[in-house]
Structures are given as C-alpha cells and as structure tokens.
Amino acid sequence: MKIGALAKATKTKVETVRNYEKFGLLPPPARTTSNYRDYGSDHLARLPFIRRARNLGFTLKALRELLELSDNQDQSCEAVDDIASRHLAEIDQKIDDLTTLRSELDRLIGACQHGTVGECKIIETLAPRI
C-alpha cells in the first residue's frame, strides 16, 4: 500500500509517517518503480502502536527502545528485563496519576448533576506525593 492509504488507515498525517521513517521508527519500505513507498502489513501493525504510545507521552527515543524489544528477539534477558522494568515503573506512575485525575473529574461531573458545583480540587489531585 502507498503512503496515503497507510496514513488514512492509521489516522496519521503523511508527513508524520515519513518523519517516523527518517527517525528510524518505521523501517524503510520497498519502493515502486516510480519511487513511491510501498508498505506492507508489518508497517500497518507497527504504526498504530507508535501513535498510541506517542499519545501516552513516550518520546520517539523511548519508543525506538521499546520497538527493539520487539525487533531483536535475540536480545539478552538482562537487556530485556532492564528496559522493560524501567518502562514499567514509568507506566505505573502514569496510570496512578491518570486514575486520581479521573476521580476528580468524575466527582466534578457528579457534583454538577446535583446542582452544586462546589469547590474544584483538580489541582490537588496531582499534588506531589511526599
């Protein structure tokens, strides 16, 4: 498939797709005789992963590391363990933060339905843990 079809299928801008290739997140696809990029199902699977992970605040650099866990199956257990563990801690923190933020937004909406907006404590929800 050509870049336009891939971009559409993954709701990504064409320029962003090319950008990922330049950065080494998407392997360079085959080219047609007229030099058009010709993507396969591996690209189609990989791109949504990148998009979602980006949306979750992972940098392209962090993503490259995670994708290498997938690409180089022959890596040492220590390497896999180290990389995965580091990201696991980061992910847990993010889930925690999102969960507390979620509760406060939920409470806000609930208070609203009872006609009493009350004090908004959004800021406190993400206050630093001591």
d(CA 107, CA 122): 10
| Residues 39-58 interacting with DNA (rule: CB under 7 A) | 54
Q: How is residue 114 written in tokens? A: 């009872």
Q: How far apart are the first and last CA of the chain?
A: 52
Kindly report the backbone phi and psi dihedral angles of residue 8, in degrees, each rounded to the nearest multiple of 5, phi listed first: -65, -45
Using the rule CB under 7 A, give the single segment among 35-43, 72-80, 88-96, 109-117 that binds DNA.
Answer: 35-43
Q: Pick the closer one to DNA by CB: 36 or 96.
A: 36
Pick what 67 binds: a second copy, DNA, none; C-beta below 5 to 8 Å, kind-dependent. Answer: a second copy
Say which residue the tokens 């690409």 belong to: 71
Counting contacts by CB under 7 A, is residue 87 touching DNA?
no
d(CA 56, CA 35): 34
The Cα angle at residue 92 between residues 101 and 16, in degrees rounded to 5: 85
Q: How far is the CB of 70 from DNA (least distance, A)?
A: 18
Counting contacts by CB under 7 A, is residue 14 touching DNA?
yes
The binding site for a second copy (CB under 8 A) comprises 10, 45-46, 48-49, 52-53, 55-57, 66-67, 69-70, 73, 75, 77, 80-81, 84-85, 87-88, 91-92, 94-95, 97-99, 101-102, 105-106, 108-109, 112-113, 115, 117, 119-128
